Amino acid sequence: MERKRIMVTGGAGFIGSHLVDALLEKGQTVVVYDNLSGGKKEFLSHCMDDIEFIERDLVTDDDLIGSLKDVDHVYHVAANPDVRVGADDTWVSVEQNIIATYNLLEAMRKVRPDDPPSFSFTSTSTVYGNATVLPTPEDYGPLIPISQYGASKLAAEAIISAFSDNFGIKASVFRFANVVGSRSTHGILFDFYHKLMKDPSRLEILGDGLQRKSYIHVSDCVKGVIHATDDQESPFEYYNVGTRDYVEIKQIPQIVVEAMELDNVEFVYTGGHKGAGWKGDVKFMSLAVDKIISTGWEYDLDSKQTLELAIREIISDLKEV
């Protein structure tokens, strides 16, 4: 396989650091670009000697073009991934998810106008909003996001497709289901674990517990992204990345409690926002994944197996701290 110089923005974060591991395993040269706002250098401590680390910010960097020199491919993973924050702060996702993506694409088209780097983008199931078709396929429409986060990712997807067409940037967009696994710094398992560490007798669960969502393990997720990126022939593609199944949210507290070996925990449902966890939360999410599976990738763990493994990994990560 041809050795390439690959940039991973957000490579010090949860998903990004696993992507870095998988790319190094394939023998690629990896440049991590991260401002460490959500990521941690510790996530890369085992491979710091094997990568180039650029600690800069996509929003404020005045030499992004310099960082992109000799880069063949960019996995753009950096973002503010917090869906909840948008109900209070409407700017953060515009800045971190739209402007940061625009700045990166603008630098990419200028660094080598005749041969720009190719591009993979980590988008989200939240671009579909409350879809009326479940599992939701990639060509579902109209796309009506209900969170600032989902809206910002959809806006970024649109900017990417225009840059792809106008400047010959080969690009792919990956719409993830919920991704969990070791090095998580947010998400339902992380939240439940921390709440139970504070009070092992009671667990508050956002929403009515009847939400249905699909989960994918981070190792399956990054394998899918790399596989589909390597396989891509057309100039622009988008893929859902998830599992074929889903779990009901009320199944998850029991999985966490068992992994933490707790007994007699009272589960308290908040009712949330129209039964969903919070304003902007999509209550029912499951993705049609036939398209990415047709590229030859398959996941190892279904949603429940994913959650069971991920909570054990999170517990073990946090014990090591």
Q: Which of 3, 27, 36, 258 binds ligand NAD (CB under 6 A)?
A: 36
* Nearest C-alpha neighbor of 283 from the set 234, 249, 320: 249
The alpha helices in 33-143, defined as continuous H runs, are 64-67, 92-93, 100-111
Q: What minimum distance in Å lies between the beta carbon of 60 and ligand NAD?
A: 8
Q: How far apart are CA 164 and CA 158, in angstroms?
A: 10
The alpha helices in the chain, defined as continuous H runs, are 14-25, 64-67, 92-93, 100-111, 148-167, 188-198, 218-231, 252-259, 290-293, 303-320
Q: Which is nearer to ligand NAD, 176 or 239 (CB)?
A: 176
Q: Which range of residues in 128-136, 178-186, 253-261, 296-304 is near ligand NAD by CB under 6 A?
A: 178-186
**Can you tell me which residue has the tokens 């109900």?**
87
Q: Which is nearer to ligand NAD, 36 or 48 (CB)?
A: 36
Residue of 149, 215, 238, 239 with catalytic role = 149
Token code pair at residue 253: 């507290």
Q: What minimum distance in Å lies between the beta carbon of 57 and ligand NAD?
A: 4
Is the bond preceding 142 in cis, omega lying within 30 degrees of 0?
A: yes
Q: How far apart are CA 215 and CA 302, in angstroms?
A: 7
Q: Which is nearer to ligand NAD, 100 or 199 (CB)?
A: 100
Exposed (0-12), middle (13-18) or buried (19+): which is 261, by Cβ within 10 Å? Answer: exposed
Determine, following the binding rule CB under 6 A, whether residue 124 of this chain makes contact with ligand NAD. yes
Neighbours of 280 (CB within 10 A): 21
Question: Is 239 noted as a catalytic residue in this protein?
Answer: no
For the segment 100-119, give every residue that binds ligand NAD (CB under 6 A).
100
For the segment 40-59, give every residue that binds ligand NAD (CB under 6 A).
57-59
For the segment 9-28, give every residue that binds ligand NAD (CB under 6 A).
9-10, 12-16
Per-residue contact flags (x/-) with ligand NAD for residues 226 to 265, judged by CB under 6 A: ----------------------------------------
Q: Which is nearer to ligand NAD, 265 or 284 (CB)?
A: 284
Give yes or no for a contact between 136 and 125, defined as CB atoms under 8 angstroms apart: yes
Q: What minimum distance in Å lies between the beta carbon of 12 and ligand NAD?
A: 4
Q: Which of 22, 23, 31, 77 binds ligand NAD (CB under 6 A)?
A: 77
Q: How far apart are CA 6 and CA 67, in angstroms?
A: 11
Q: What minimum distance in Å lies between the beta carbon of 286 and ligand NAD?
A: 14
Interface with ligand NAD (CB under 6 A): 9-10, 12-16, 34-39, 57-59, 77-79, 81, 96, 100, 122, 124, 176, 178-179, 185, 187
